[in-house]
Amino acid sequence: MPITPATAPNSSSSGTTQQILLELVDETGRTIGTAEKLSAHQAPGQLHRAFSVFLFDEHGRLLLQRRALGKYHSPGVWSNTCCGHPYPGEAPFTAAARRTHEELGVSPSLLAEAGTVRYNHPDPASGLVEQEFNHLFVGLVQSPLRPDPEEVGETAFVTAAELTERHARDTFSAWFMTVLDSARPAIRELTGPAGGW
Protein backbone atom coordinates (compact mmCIF):
# COMPACT_ATOMS: atom_id res chain seq x y z
CA MET A 1 0.00 0.00 0.00
CA PRO A 2 1.47 3.41 -0.92
CA ILE A 3 2.38 5.63 1.99
CA THR A 4 0.27 8.76 2.16
CA PRO A 5 0.71 11.84 4.33
CA ALA A 6 -2.02 10.46 6.62
CA THR A 7 -0.27 7.12 7.23
CA ALA A 8 3.41 7.95 6.83
CA PRO A 9 5.77 7.96 9.80
CA ASN A 10 6.93 11.32 11.08
CA SER A 11 9.14 12.87 8.38
CA SER A 12 10.92 15.32 10.67
CA SER A 13 14.57 15.04 11.62
CA SER A 14 13.70 12.94 14.68
CA GLY A 15 14.61 9.29 15.23
CA THR A 16 11.96 7.84 12.91
CA THR A 17 13.80 8.94 9.76
CA GLN A 18 14.99 5.45 8.81
CA GLN A 19 11.40 4.11 8.83
CA ILE A 20 10.29 6.39 5.98
CA LEU A 21 10.05 4.67 2.60
CA LEU A 22 11.45 6.21 -0.57
CA GLU A 23 10.52 5.35 -4.14
CA LEU A 24 13.37 3.58 -5.98
CA VAL A 25 13.63 4.30 -9.71
CA ASP A 26 15.63 3.20 -12.73
CA GLU A 27 17.76 5.53 -14.87
CA THR A 28 14.68 6.71 -16.77
CA GLY A 29 12.77 7.59 -13.58
CA ARG A 30 10.45 4.56 -13.71
CA THR A 31 9.44 3.25 -10.26
CA ILE A 32 11.00 -0.13 -9.47
CA GLY A 33 10.40 -0.50 -5.72
CA THR A 34 10.90 1.10 -2.32
CA ALA A 35 13.61 1.30 0.32
CA GLU A 36 13.96 2.77 3.80
CA LYS A 37 15.25 6.32 3.69
CA LEU A 38 18.48 5.77 5.61
CA SER A 39 19.41 2.55 3.79
CA ALA A 40 18.84 4.24 0.41
CA HIS A 41 21.41 6.90 1.38
CA GLN A 42 24.08 4.54 2.72
CA ALA A 43 27.01 3.97 0.35
CA PRO A 44 26.95 3.24 -2.51
CA GLY A 45 23.36 4.55 -2.41
CA GLN A 46 20.20 3.44 -4.21
CA LEU A 47 18.74 5.57 -7.00
CA HIS A 48 15.52 7.11 -5.70
CA ARG A 49 13.04 9.85 -6.53
CA ALA A 50 13.56 13.30 -5.03
CA PHE A 51 12.53 16.90 -5.61
CA SER A 52 14.12 20.33 -5.28
CA VAL A 53 12.24 23.64 -5.00
CA PHE A 54 13.55 27.13 -5.84
CA LEU A 55 11.23 29.94 -4.71
CA PHE A 56 11.77 33.63 -5.45
CA ASP A 57 10.32 36.81 -3.99
CA GLU A 58 8.89 39.73 -5.99
CA HIS A 59 12.41 41.17 -6.36
CA GLY A 60 13.78 38.04 -8.02
CA ARG A 61 15.74 36.95 -4.95
CA LEU A 62 16.14 33.23 -4.25
CA LEU A 63 14.98 31.86 -0.89
CA LEU A 64 17.73 29.76 0.68
CA GLN A 65 17.49 27.70 3.84
CA ARG A 66 20.18 26.52 6.22
CA ARG A 67 19.34 23.00 7.25
CA ALA A 68 18.70 22.49 10.97
CA LEU A 69 21.61 21.19 13.03
CA GLY A 70 19.51 18.22 14.19
CA LYS A 71 19.07 16.73 10.73
CA TYR A 72 20.86 13.42 10.20
CA HIS A 73 21.92 14.30 6.63
CA SER A 74 23.88 17.48 5.79
CA PRO A 75 23.01 19.36 9.00
CA GLY A 76 23.79 23.06 9.25
CA VAL A 77 24.56 23.62 5.56
CA TRP A 78 22.85 26.04 3.19
CA SER A 79 20.72 24.71 0.36
CA ASN A 80 17.85 25.56 -1.96
CA THR A 81 14.41 26.59 -0.71
CA CYS A 82 13.23 23.04 -0.04
CA CYS A 83 14.18 19.51 -1.05
CA GLY A 84 13.00 16.06 -0.13
CA HIS A 85 11.43 12.83 -1.29
CA PRO A 86 7.88 12.02 -2.38
CA TYR A 87 6.09 9.25 -0.53
CA PRO A 88 5.82 6.13 -2.71
CA GLY A 89 3.00 6.83 -5.16
CA GLU A 90 2.90 10.58 -4.38
CA ALA A 91 3.31 12.98 -7.31
CA PRO A 92 6.55 14.99 -7.06
CA PHE A 93 4.61 18.26 -7.51
CA THR A 94 2.35 17.39 -4.56
CA ALA A 95 5.35 16.41 -2.44
CA ALA A 96 7.18 19.64 -3.28
CA ALA A 97 4.21 21.80 -2.25
CA ARG A 98 3.60 19.70 0.88
CA ARG A 99 7.19 19.79 2.15
CA THR A 100 7.59 23.49 1.41
CA HIS A 101 4.64 24.16 3.70
CA GLU A 102 5.84 21.68 6.35
CA GLU A 103 9.37 23.11 6.47
CA LEU A 104 8.77 26.82 5.87
CA GLY A 105 5.12 27.33 6.86
CA VAL A 106 4.25 28.86 3.50
CA SER A 107 2.58 27.69 0.30
CA PRO A 108 4.08 28.84 -3.00
CA SER A 109 1.88 31.34 -4.85
CA LEU A 110 3.23 29.78 -8.08
CA LEU A 111 4.98 26.45 -8.58
CA ALA A 112 6.03 25.10 -11.98
CA GLU A 113 7.96 22.05 -13.15
CA ALA A 114 11.53 22.77 -14.26
CA GLY A 115 12.75 19.38 -15.54
CA THR A 116 14.71 16.59 -13.89
CA VAL A 117 18.34 15.84 -13.12
CA ARG A 118 20.06 12.61 -12.09
CA TYR A 119 23.17 12.77 -9.90
CA ASN A 120 25.42 10.85 -7.52
CA HIS A 121 26.80 13.07 -4.73
CA PRO A 122 28.61 11.56 -1.72
CA ASP A 123 28.53 13.68 1.44
CA PRO A 124 32.06 13.56 2.89
CA ALA A 125 30.94 14.69 6.35
CA SER A 126 28.38 11.92 6.93
CA GLY A 127 29.49 9.23 4.49
CA LEU A 128 25.96 9.17 3.06
CA VAL A 129 25.32 9.23 -0.69
CA GLU A 130 22.73 11.11 -2.73
CA GLN A 131 21.82 8.87 -5.66
CA GLU A 132 18.81 10.80 -6.89
CA PHE A 133 16.48 11.25 -9.83
CA ASN A 134 15.46 14.78 -8.89
CA HIS A 135 12.33 16.61 -10.07
CA LEU A 136 12.94 20.38 -10.14
CA PHE A 137 10.38 23.11 -9.40
CA VAL A 138 10.54 26.90 -9.51
CA GLY A 139 8.02 29.36 -8.16
CA LEU A 140 7.13 32.42 -6.14
CA VAL A 141 6.69 33.01 -2.42
CA GLN A 142 4.66 36.02 -1.30
CA SER A 143 3.68 35.19 2.29
CA PRO A 144 5.65 35.56 5.53
CA LEU A 145 7.77 32.51 6.38
CA ARG A 146 7.12 30.41 9.49
CA PRO A 147 10.02 27.91 9.45
CA ASP A 148 9.89 24.70 11.49
CA PRO A 149 13.01 24.91 13.70
CA GLU A 150 13.44 21.12 13.57
CA GLU A 151 13.89 21.39 9.80
CA VAL A 152 15.25 24.89 9.13
CA GLY A 153 17.98 26.70 11.06
CA GLU A 154 17.91 29.96 9.10
CA THR A 155 16.58 31.48 5.88
CA ALA A 156 17.85 34.17 3.52
CA PHE A 157 16.73 35.82 0.29
CA VAL A 158 19.67 36.41 -2.06
CA THR A 159 20.32 37.93 -5.46
CA ALA A 160 22.44 35.99 -7.95
CA ALA A 161 25.48 38.11 -7.01
CA GLU A 162 24.87 37.63 -3.28
CA LEU A 163 24.58 33.87 -3.81
CA THR A 164 27.99 33.82 -5.51
CA GLU A 165 29.52 35.60 -2.50
CA ARG A 166 27.74 33.38 0.02
CA HIS A 167 28.63 30.17 -1.85
CA ALA A 168 32.32 31.12 -1.71
CA ARG A 169 32.09 31.84 2.02
CA ASP A 170 29.63 29.31 3.49
CA THR A 171 29.12 25.56 3.27
CA PHE A 172 26.35 24.40 0.92
CA SER A 173 24.77 21.00 0.37
CA ALA A 174 26.64 18.64 -1.97
CA TRP A 175 23.76 18.70 -4.44
CA PHE A 176 23.04 22.44 -4.45
CA MET A 177 24.99 23.58 -7.52
CA THR A 178 23.86 20.57 -9.57
CA VAL A 179 20.17 21.25 -8.99
CA LEU A 180 20.59 25.02 -9.34
CA ASP A 181 22.40 24.75 -12.66
CA SER A 182 19.80 22.29 -13.97
CA ALA A 183 16.95 24.63 -12.95
CA ARG A 184 18.56 27.80 -14.38
CA PRO A 185 16.62 27.85 -17.69
CA ALA A 186 13.30 27.79 -15.83
CA ILE A 187 14.61 30.27 -13.24
CA ARG A 188 15.58 32.72 -15.99
CA GLU A 189 12.17 32.34 -17.55
CA LEU A 190 10.56 33.08 -14.18
CA THR A 191 12.74 36.00 -13.06
CA GLY A 192 13.58 37.60 -16.42
CA PRO A 193 16.97 38.63 -17.85
CA ALA A 194 17.49 41.42 -15.31
CA GLY A 195 17.63 38.88 -12.45
CA GLY A 196 21.09 37.70 -13.42
CA TRP A 197 20.32 34.02 -12.93
Residues serving a catalytic function are 83, 132
Q: What is the Cβ-side half-sphere exposure of residue 127, based on CA atoms within 13 angstroms?
A: 4
Distances from the Cα of 25 to the Cα of 40, 44, 47, 117, 190, angstroms: 11, 15, 6, 13, 29
